[in-house]
Structure 1
Amino acid sequence: MAKGVEISTNEEHFVGEALKLGFRTDGRTLTQAREPVIKLSDQYGYVEIVWGRTKLAVRISAEITQPYEDRPFEGLFTINTEISPMASPHFENGKNSDEEVLIARLVEKAIRRSNALDLESLCIVAGSKVWSIRADIHFLDFDGGLIDASCLGVMTALQHFRKPDVSVVGENVVIHSVDERQPVPLSILHVPICVTFSFYNPSGVEENIKGDLNEEISIIDATQQEELLRDGSLVITINKNRELIQISKSGGLPIDAMVLMDLSRKAYVIAEELTEKVKQLLKVDEEERYKRLNLKLLESGERR
């Protein structure tokens, strides 16, 4: 969490007692995630995510470059994050916080290392020219859940993005304009979704670690206030195919195997719902684009 963030003793006590009773300050249950609002732009690859009071924008861009020497048949994929004081006064301008590094690392692992984005499909000329895909994440407002919102935003933007069509003539690569040829979607093999669990130890870690591990309280999708008070966190990345992509544990008590299985099932339900939500939004967006295109062609034909 960003440095300088503080919470009063009364607030800490109130939130802690509420969690013991199964309540949260925003009215959600312990296992209820916030419903994200996904806004697709007319511009391919630009997506805005509103996750409670957390807001971020993701922009996908592409350029032709040289591949890595040890991976001549693969394109490149990079993630860049930007958290400014505009999102929260606790973040410093122009300085990467630990949270930014963690977000970029976890989302990059979830997408690139799991081969969610097919990097081989980005190859144009082996060993010479490949597409380099870059995802820029700009955080506009902060109220917790940055990892979950970032992963959802990047995966939605990647599916929404279209790169220019190209043709290879000898050693030259010709990039065709949108007016000349339809842009090409990226090859997405699966959709990883990050789900973050936060843990609270009413008796304290030192005392509870000797006792019953089941005393630990877990909640889904913590707000900034809840993140400040948590004793540990767990990020589970999973897709709708029930493939467990990554598990990242930070702080808290050791997790029992049965508890981990239960949390994974809860994460799968959320991943399945979000994947279907994104699928339907992209389908509607594509249908509306085709309608506008057909209308434009019809109007131009009538003028002629």
Structure 2
Amino acid sequence: MVSSPHEAMHRIFQEYPGLFSRVSEVLGIDIPPPTSATTLPTDLTEARPVERRVDTLLRIETEHDGPFLLAIEAQGKKDPRKTTSWPYYVSYLHNRYGLPVLLLVVCQDHTTAEWAARPVSIGLRQWQTLTLSPLVAGPHNMPVITDVAEARKDLALTTLAAITHADNPDVDAILKTLSAALRDTPETIANPIVELTAQGLGNRPAAQQWRNLVAVDLSFYKSFMSEEIRDEGRVEGRAEGRTQGRAESILLVLEQRGLTVSDAVRERITDCGDPETLRQWLMRAVTATTAEEIFAEK
């Protein structure tokens, strides 16, 4: 069964085809910036009972070097079968479209990324007929973006950075930066970013932090994820449930960030019945250096 991180790692290129231009820069590959990109069918099945599908396939147009095909594979773990299927993908696509083909493999851990980057050779020991060299993006070479201004310049790259660093401690800083960068972003741009990030984090601990960041201001995030959080609040019971849920969210954010929560702080939070005050405290809990700091008036 395909996992949600697997989907996010390649679907982000469908949503933002121009992202590959920035990724290629990060990876040190000199590829002309695209003038356009077209999503192509991913079915590589021949007229026989063997089905082969690449995760995402884009036709990239460039101004000077002409078009090429970008085949994107999301790889969550080592898979020996890929040493057979990846060369097939590239050969089939080159034969079908008559265009240069570049294979990009997106990973979320160093071990898989190192494995995916190994050249795949077909031929004899004395002479290799075909050698495939995948381009790999993963936690070993994707940037850790913690500057809000930098994140705003390229939300898609920041999202991919969060997804590929999902298992790294640095992902906390990336998520906070991405959330801050989205605050003044139109919903039509922010909503896909919110959903792709949640999808890419899967069931990892960082996914709950992302939910907490999204929950700080539900009036901003009107995506499926925020509706899901709203529904959870309704089940708990209208006004009382909303204040209780926010109080629990504040405590959860503080605890997950490793801050010490005294009994006095816990009691003040749980006893508060004002939703707006709790919302302010929740916003401050994301960046506070101590638990007591959330009560400071700014």
Higher RCO (CA < 8 A, seq sep 6+): 1
TM-score, normalised by the number of residues in structure 2: 0.22
TM-score, normalised by the number of residues in structure 1: 0.21
* Structure with the bigger percentage of strand: 1
